[in-house]
Homo-oligomer: A and B are copies of this chain.
Amino acid sequence: MNPIEILKKYVSYPSVSTDPAFKEGMVGSRNYVMELLKEIGFDVKLVDTPLHPIVLGQRGGEKDWPHIVIYGHYDVQPADPYELWDNPPFEAEVKDGRIYARGSADNKGPQVVHICALAKLLKRRPDLPLRITYLIEGEEEIGSPSFLGFLDEYKQLLSEADMVLVSDTGIPTPDQIVITTGLRGLVDLEVELTGPNKDLHSGIHGGAVLNPIKAIADLCSSLHTEDGKVNLPGFYDGIEGVQDWEREELKKFPLTEEGYKEFLGVKGLYGDKDFTPLEALKIRPTLEFNGIGGGYQGEGVKTVIPSKAFVKITCRLVAGQDPAQIVKLLKDTLLKRVPKEVTIKFKGEGSGHPYGVVPPGRSNTPADQSPVLAKAFLSAEKHIEKIFGKAPLYIREGGSVPIIADLKTVTGLDSLLIGLFLPEDNLHAPNESFHLGVMEKAIEAFEGIIEDIADK
Contacts and interface: CB of A to CB of B under 8 A. Distances in A.
A279 B29 CA distance: 62
Interface string A196-219: 111111111111111101101110
Nearest to A269: B208
A441 interface: no
A260 interface: yes
B290 A305 contact: yes
A150 interface: no
A191 to B, nearest CB: 12
A294 B291 contact: yes
B306 A290 contact: yes
A241 to B, nearest CB: 17
Contacts of A268: 210, 340-341
Given A220-B213, A296-B290, A302-B18, A270 B339 contact: yes
Given A142-B301, A296-B290, A302-B291, A264 B18 contact: no
Nearest to A190: B301
A281 B204 contact: yes
Contact of A301 (B213, B217, B290): B290
Contacts of A142: 300-301
A267 interface: yes
B200 A429 contact: yes
Interface string A240-281: 000000000000000000001000111111111000011011
A84 to B, nearest CB: 8
A202 B314 contact: yes
A414 B190 CA distance: 51
Contacts of A203: 184, 186, 316, 397-400
Contact of A207 (B186, B220, B284, B303): B284
Given A143-B301, A195-B266, A311-B213, A289 B281 contact: no
A18 B265 contact: no
B198 A429 contact: yes
Contacts of A78: 296, 298, 302
Contacts of A196: 264-266
Contact of A77 (B197, B302, B350): B302
A384 B199 CA distance: 31
Chain copies in complex? 2
Contacts of A277: 207-208
A407 interface: no
Contacts of A339: 270
Interface stretch (A108-116, A359-367, A420-428): A420-428
A224 interface: yes
Interface string A428-443: 1111000000000000
A293 interface: yes
B218 A289 contact: no
Contacts of A270: 208-210, 339, 341
A19 interface: yes
A146 B197 CA distance: 35
Given A18-B299, A78-B296, A398 B343 contact: no
A304 interface: yes
Interface string A336-354: 0001111100001010000
Interface in A319-347: 339-343
17 contacts: A19-B299, A84-B198, A186-B303, A196-B266, A198-B431, A199-B429, A201-B429, A204-B423, A207-B280, A211-B289, A214-B221, A217-B292, A290-B305, A291-B306, A293-B297, A296-B312, A301-B348
